[in-house]
A and B are shown apart, each in its own frame.
Chain A
Amino acid sequence: MTRNDAAAARSMRVNEDRPARASSNWGRALLISKIFDFTAIPLILAGLYLAFLYAPRESTMGDVQRIFYFHVPFALNSFLAFGVVLVASIGFLLRGKRSWDETALAAVEVGFLYCTLVLLTGPVWARSAWGVWWTWDARLTSTLILWLIFASYLFLRTYMADDPRMRRYAAVLGILGALEVPIVYYSVQWFSTQHPTTFITERGKLDPQMAMVLRFTLIAVLILGIALFWKRRLIGRLEEARDRLLADVEERELR
């Protein structure tokens, strides 16, 4: 047996026990995903019931106010997703492990979805309360910019070849985008002092029943987000495994 054969045999052995270990991890990950799914679905259904049937009718805005029970949770959770993007992107730049990058991507996708839902539910309410679908109000503007930054991150990932360099660039963009969030937030607050508008989330005045519903939907939307995030991470892991297999095959063909 030559030295090369021995090395080949060793690498074969390594390759053979890798799938076994991966699959036990995989089973657990899949189970967790199912648990999140089956928690999220009833929670969202219950949230819909609470928001549309249980919560008392708001005296001035009427039924259209009920949209807040989902609008606000989507907004807060998309901010949270941006926090995850920041941490995961820094983690990826420092450690270089692909799982950090996949985490950032999954968070961006969920955050982008939630941000889109915020921008879709908001105008429905605005149309009935303010009489217009859109105004250049502080919060609306900052959410729109947030959405654009998420979108540009996804553009970067589709327009570049899938390689380590693209992941580093995406991480840099994720960090820049997250740094931008507080700047946008403060800048539009000054914007709003110059253009005063009515704001809605005055916590102190919230009826206890309404507050309860809002807290419930906040958690429901958070769990749904985690379920979606987890699923996206599973896809990321599959892609990672596929790339590893492809690399293995290529290596053997070369030999």
Chain B
Amino acid sequence: MKGYLAAIAALVEKDLRLEWRSREAITSMIFFSLLVVVIFGFAFQTRKIDPTTEAPGLLWIAFTFSGVLGLHRMLALERENGSLQALLLAPVDRGAIFLAKVTTVLGLILLAEWITIPIFSILLRVSVLPCLLPLALITCAGSLGFAAVGVLLATIASGSRLREVLLPLLLYPLWVPVLVGCVELTGLALSGRPLKEGSDWLVLLAVYDVIFMTAGTLLFDLMLEE
């Protein structure tokens, strides 16, 4: 167990160090979320965004798109010089590789999201200060599910010539229930109501996260068998 965790930590450290040196994924993700928010700002220019109905949807559209961008970067990184093959040769449990990838992607996505939220709040005049804690909880729960399913499907998509097209096609249908839950919960948070009112959705997010983390850890090994 200790070795397992150490392996995960080492892999995460490797990925984060690579990312720190180039900072390609994180800057493109943040910039892309920013662009989505700005484009929405222009599209809805004439009127104020409603914080309970439109704002949550808008925010999660930005997260959904920029998340895929992060997954693409992660893929490209592993494809260069056949480093995924090298990684698979390492004497490490494949489940640990999966968990490490999910941790890295989750970290990047959360960072991008937490930088997007204040920008979003300022540009679209939606107040987020009173509900920062609930928002942090929702983004964590939602993004964990996104990262788990995303890493699995990004690995699958990397087998295709049309990987950039294939990944969103595979990912979005599986991501829909979490998206609905996140949007509902964010709506509650932004309108200042307690998250308890949406406890069903919190359970859904938790169940989804547990199921897909478990499935991913088990399937990753079978999937990459050569």
Point out residues on A near B: beta carbons under 8 Å: 93-94, 145, 148-149, 151-152, 155-156, 159-161, 165-166, 168-169, 172-173, 175-177, 179-180, 183-184, 186-188, 190-191
Contacts and interface: CB of A to CB of B under 8 A. Distances in A.
Contacts of A183: 177, 204, 207-208, 211
B212 A176 contact: yes
Interface of B: 149, 152-153, 156, 159-162, 165-166, 169-170, 172-174, 176-177, 180-181, 200-201, 204, 207-208, 211-212, 215, 219, 222-223, 225
Contacts of B166: 155-156, 159-160
Contact of A187 (B170, B172, B204, B219): B204
A149 B174 contact: yes
B160 A160 contact: yes
A82 B215 CA distance: 17
B181 A187 contact: yes
B215 A159 contact: no
Given A152-B174, A183-B177, A187-B177, 9 more contacts: A93-B223, A145-B173, A148-B172, A155-B169, A159-B162, A161-B160, A173-B153, A187-B180, A190-B201
8 contacts: A149-B174, A155-B169, A166-B159, A169-B156, A183-B207, A186-B204, A190-B200, A190-B201
B165 A93 contact: no
B223 A168 contact: yes
A184 to B, nearest CB: 5
Q: Which of B161, B181, B223 has the most CB of A within 10 A?
A: B223
B215 A175 contact: yes
Nearest to B199: A190
A169 B173 CA distance: 16
A179 B212 contact: yes
Contact of B222 (A149, A168, A186): A168
Contacts of A93: 219, 222-223
